[in-house]
Amino acid sequence: MRKGYKMISNQILQNTMEGLKNISKVDMGVLDVEGKVLVSTFPESEIAGEEAAAFAQSPADSQTIKNYQFFKVYDEHQLEYIFVAKGDSDETYLVGKMAAFQLQSLLTAYKERFDKDNFIKNLLLDNLLLVDIYNRAKKLHIDIEARRVVFILEASPDRDQGTLENIKNLFGSKSGDFITAVDEKSIIIVKELAPGEDYTQANKIAAEVLDVVGRNEENMTHIAYGTIVRELKEVSRSYKEARMALDVGKIFFDDRDIIAYSSLGIGRLIYQLPIPLCKMFIKEIFENKSPDDFDTETLTTINKFFENNLNVSETSRQLYIHRNTLVYRLDKLQKSTGLDLRVFEDAITFKIALMVVRYMKYMETLDY
């Protein structure tokens, strides 16, 4: 199948032919280079495929055959379509010539759109040399110095097919924004930012996208974004950061549906640790125990203590327990682990250990 057919759907061709017929009152149609009718405003049987195919092979750019005028439509120097207008008058020839030109312009516009989408995908995946980025961007009229940020929307696998179109509609036809998909689960938005727009605006954009696609009750819909970059060549970095933010968010921030790379903190460092190193770390600190082996009461106490920045009084107040009860629990924990959470360094070690175990458990789920 030739590339032109992929770019312009038959539905769009049909709408275009019907619109032109309403204006000109001339029946018309579009055939492929083998003479097969793709769309028409007249019965397909009226056109002999062999004659159209023979015209395609001839050196002529236009020809009259049995009350039909045939025109060739090219993509650069490659024949893409045969346009047919019904009638052999001079007026019909003029209408046919203009309609064929319109089809040529439509093909060029869709080809540029297709080329841009292809370019952005290769840019995101780091498949381009620096010189190719600049040369192709210039040819496609893409600003290389605009500030941009990459968003990745991950929805449930059974999401509506119209999701991509809804997002495209949200951003309108702004030439600096690109919306594409690299797999069935993810939609990627490369958003151009105006001077002065920062991460507050990026978070607002993420919220608007979630509102359009619908927030999922099972928390299956997430959107993540990378850092703001100032050059086109850095867009792939923002994409990789957004991809990492999605994964890290699932491990450490599963209560959030918007995850910014800049807010990942120590989570993004833990995410890059090799699993054998993680296992060694846990074993060295806890010997044969794991920090998540503690009962629910102990884990709740630990997490609340961390939330309150190691403040004993505030933690006991929020847990509705006496201060001495909290001190007893912390003493008990110190005896079993050798770590006193009231000491900052021990608290950091324990916090990292909890996060490492969570990361290891997540990675185990990916292995099956």
* DSSP string covering 280-342: HHHHHHHTT--GGGS-HHHHHHHHHHHHTTT-HHHHHHHHT--HHHHHHHHHHHHHHHS--TT
Residue 368 confidence class, pLDDT cut points 50, 70, 90: very low
Share of the chain above pLDDT 70, in %: 93
Identify the pLDDT of residue 7: 59
Q: Cα angle vertex 88, ends 85, 91, to 5°?
A: 80
pLDDT tens digits for 24-61?
Answer: 999 999 999 888 899 999 887 888 788 888 999 999 99
Q: How far apart are CA 170 and CA 178, in angstroms?
A: 12
In whole angstroms, how far apart are CA 275 and each of 195, 301, 351, 356, 357? 42, 28, 18, 9, 10
Identify the pLDDT of residue 216: 66
Q: How far apart are CA 359 and CA 356, in angstroms?
A: 5
Closest among 303, 313, 298, 316 to 347, alpha carbons compared: 303
Considering only residues 254 and 173, tell me which one the structure prediction assigns the higher pLDDT.
254
User: Is the pLDDT reported for residue 9 higher than 80?
Assistant: no
pLDDT tens digits for 243-302?
Answer: 999 999 999 998 888 999 999 999 999 999 999 999 999 988 887 777 767 888 988 999
User: Is the pLDDT reported for residue 159 higher than 70?
Assistant: no
pLDDT tens digits for 191-206?
Answer: 999 888 999 999 999 9
Identify the pLDDT of residue 185: 80
Of the ranges 4-8, 90-94, 284-288, which one carries the lowest mean pLDDT score?
Answer: 4-8
Give, rounded to a whole angstrom, the gap between the first and last alpha carbons of the chain. 39
Average pLDDT of 330-353?
92
> Which residues share a beta bridge with 192?
148
Identify the pLDDT of residue 3: 43
pTM metric for this prediction: 0.69
**Dihedrals φ, ψ of 178, to 5°?**
-130, 130
Please list the alpha-helical segments (H only) found in 45-197. 49-57, 90-124, 130-139, 163-171
pLDDT tens digits for 107-132?
Answer: 877 776 778 888 899 899 888 888 88
Q: Going from the N-terminus, what domains does the chain have, and what CATH number goes with each?
A: 3-107 (3.30.450.40), 130-268 (3.30.70.270), 273-366 (1.10.10.2840)
